[in-house]
Each structure stands twice: as structure tokens, then as C-alpha cells.
Amino acid sequence: MDAIFYEIEHKIRDGVRLTRDEGLTLFNSQDLAWLGYLANIARKRISGDYVYFNVNRHINLTNICTARCKFCAFGCDADSAQAYTMTKEKAVSLAKQSAQDPDLRELHIVSGLHPDWPFEFYLDVLHSLRSALPDIHLKAFTAVEICHFAKISGKSIEEVLKALIDAGMDSMPGGGAEILSDRVREQLCPQKASAGEWLEVARTAHKLGLRSNASMLYGHIETVEERIDHLLALRELQDETGGFQTFICFPFHPVNTELENQIIRTTVWDDLKMMAISRLMLDNFKNIKAYWIMLTLPIAQLALGFGANDIDGTVSEERIMQAAGAKAGRSLSKETLINSIRQAGRIPAERDSMYNIIKIV
């Protein structure tokens, strides 16, 4: 083994932070088992042997979107045959239907950037959900949506966030980060929040006491340097605020996107390597999520051996990845998640949205 790999291994064993160059060096290793071994050391030290899951439901209010990112198969124009919108009554009725399951704890609400809906509509939806289901955690709106709300309402990011908190928002999901590089965003998603804006929304949210998640979309036009710089930007902000709850890496699914004919889906090898490197670089993130919808359940289970300690939730009715040809399905039972975690030799821990353990199974 090269001396540099030995050095990295020693640093991980001693809990010493890796540098940018060391992060890049990890990408040069094709010793996947070794990367998994290191990620396991870091994971065990940082988050122990529990694997977290929750019982949640996704609600996507509309797929009509002005951003039209090249990597997205979900967003569409208002006159598209696939376009749909949901009234607040419909959102409440879906949520109530899911809440018939007494274990439901969280609604995950993200949508396209609708050209005509005013900010008040979103506040109204949150208010209605909050009054209908006072005990359910509302994890709502990505940093990209928050920037959109600021633009359409003329309010500052802070004012938008405060209004959403007043309306019932409890935390924010991690989407929209993609790759935090203006070069990449200029090419893939020039119509939405810049890298700096995404980070600024997260910073402001954390300052207001909101927790949020962080994500990365990889396997398209980004370089490995851009992947590492993305992780470093998140690590730096986490040092500053401590407000991120979990990190999720999304492998790009090209089906039905503008990039379909240019880019092929990452391999399982890439996905496990990315999972391990994320765990190793993000030494101040307690949780690294293997999102089974994107990875499929067998790969998400495997990812538990490559640094992940969080497998998301039952989800129910996922639409964004279905549009991009994801094969994992839309929903899983709690029992299936529990069995997958147990088969990997880890301890299933049902959590609430703030990562408090409800029950160790």
C-alpha cells in the first residue's frame, strides 16, 4: 500500500480530520473493501451501531417548475401533459390518510418552483397541515424553494424562514444542493439558487434554530475536485453552525432527463466509494443517509457497511425519482427496513425527525 494511504488510515484511526488532498487521494484508491473498512471505523466512532429510520410520507405539491434543471425528470412546464398541482385540501387529505398509521411522524414536503403560486399559498398549506395534524413533524421546502419564496415575496431569506416557522415548518430537507459549484450550476441549473445562496439559506436557518439536511447529486458533469469541494463547503458550514442533521448523496439517474443520452448511471462501485468518502470527509456529520429510493434497498443495505447509519424512511408515494426511472419502488414497510438493517448486523432504531430514538427494535 502507498505511504499516503497508510497515513490516511492512521488519521482515521486517530480521529484526525482529512485534508482536501487526502480526500482527492481517496478517489484514487480502488480498494473498495479498504474504503469500507475506514468508513466503518469513522461511522462507529461518530454514530455507533444504530441505523436510523422513520415512518414518513412525501408530499410534492406540484411538478410545474420554472427551474427546469437538466438533471431533473420531475419538473415540467404548466402546459405539459404530466403537469399536476395539488390544493391545500388535497395535501391535508393525503397527510390525514397517512396519519391513519399511528407510527407516522414526518411529512416531507418539496415541490417544483411554480410560476404563479404566491408565497401565501405555501404558508397556507403549512398552516392547514399544522392544524390538521399538530403532532406530525413538517420537514418542508429545500433551500432552493426558500430562495424562490424570497424572490416572489420580496422578503429576505430570514423573513421567509421566520414566516414559515410561524406557519408550522419544523425543519428543512437537504435537496437542491446538487454540486455547490457555480460552474456546474451554470450548466445544469442556472435558473435556481446559486451555491452561495444555498449555503446562505442553510446558515440563516441554523441561526434561527432550524435543523436542516444536506445533499449532493453526483455522477453527471462534475469533477472529483468539485465533489470534494462540495463536501468541504458543507463541513465548513457544519463547523460554524452544527445545524445539519444528515448528509445524503444522490447518484444521478439519467432516465427521462435532458442528459439521458450523454451520461450513464453510476456503478454500484462508484456509489459505495462515494458513500465511504462522504463519511470520511464529513467528520462533523453524525448521520450519513443511504436513501434506498435512489440506491435501491440492496445497495442501501450494503452502504451500511460503507459509512451509512441512516436509511431514510418508509417514504410512501415518492415521485421525483420515479420520474427519473428509479427502480426501488415508492414505499417500504417498516418491517422491511428493520429486517434489512438487522441482516446487516446493525441495530434498527426508529427515530423522530430530530434523530431522537423512539424505539430500538
Q: For ligand V47, what does the binding mask look like between residues 144 and 183, x meaning CB under 6 A?
A: -----------------------------xxxx-x-----
Subset of residues 215 to 244 that bind ligand V47, contact rule: CB under 6 A = 215, 217
Q: Which is nearer to ligand V47, 160 or 320 (CB)?
A: 320
Secondary structure letter of residue 315 according to DSSP? -
SS3 for 18? coil
Rounded Cα–Cα distance for residues 300 and 251 (Å): 12
Q: Which is nearer to ligand V47, 29 or 314 (CB)?
A: 314
Query: Which of the stretches 3-11, 65-73, 90-98, 189-197 binds ligand V47 when contact is defined by CB under 6 A?
Result: 65-73
Among 117, 250, 285, 306, binds ligand V47 (CB under 6 A): 250
* Angle of CA points 301, 307, 313, to nearest 5°: 45
172: which strand partners? 212
- Exposed, middle or buried, 15 (CB in 10 Å: 0-12/13-18/19+)? exposed
359: which strand partners? 350
Among 248, 308, 332, 349, binds ligand V47 (CB under 6 A): 248
147 annotated as belonging to a binding site for a ligand: no
119 annotated as belonging to a binding site for a ligand: no
Among 107, 125, 169, 324, binds ligand V47 (CB under 6 A): 324
Which element (helix H / strand E) includes 151? helix 143-153
Rounded Cα–Cα distance for residues 218 and 197 (Å): 20
Smallest distance from ligand V47 to CB 237, Å:
15
Using CB under 6 A as the binding rule, whether residue 253 contacts ligand V47 is answered as yes
Subset of residues 80 to 139 that bind ligand V47, contact rule: CB under 6 A = none
Q: Which is nearer to ligand V47, 11 or 330 (CB)?
A: 330
Rounded Cα–Cα distance for residues 190 and 115 (Å): 16
Using CB under 6 A as the binding rule, whether residue 290 contacts ligand V47 is answered as no
Residue type, 57: R
Smallest distance from ligand V47 to CB 248, Å:
6
Using CB under 6 A as the binding rule, whether residue 311 contacts ligand V47 is answered as no
Smallest distance from ligand V47 to CB 207, Å:
19
Rounded Cα–Cα distance for residues 347 and 245 (Å): 19
Pairing of strands 310-313, 357-360: unpaired
Smallest distance from ligand V47 to CB 71, Å:
5
Q: What are phi and psi of 212, to 5 degrees?
A: -145, 170
Quickly tell me which residue has 456503478 as its cell.
267
Using CB under 6 A as the binding rule, whether residue 52 contacts ligand V47 is answered as no
178 annotated as belonging to a binding site for a ligand: yes
Cα Rg for the chain, rounded, in angstroms? 19
* Residues that bind ligand V47 in the complex, under the rule CB under 6 A: 71-73, 142, 173-176, 178, 213, 215, 217, 248, 250, 252-253, 257, 291, 312, 320, 324
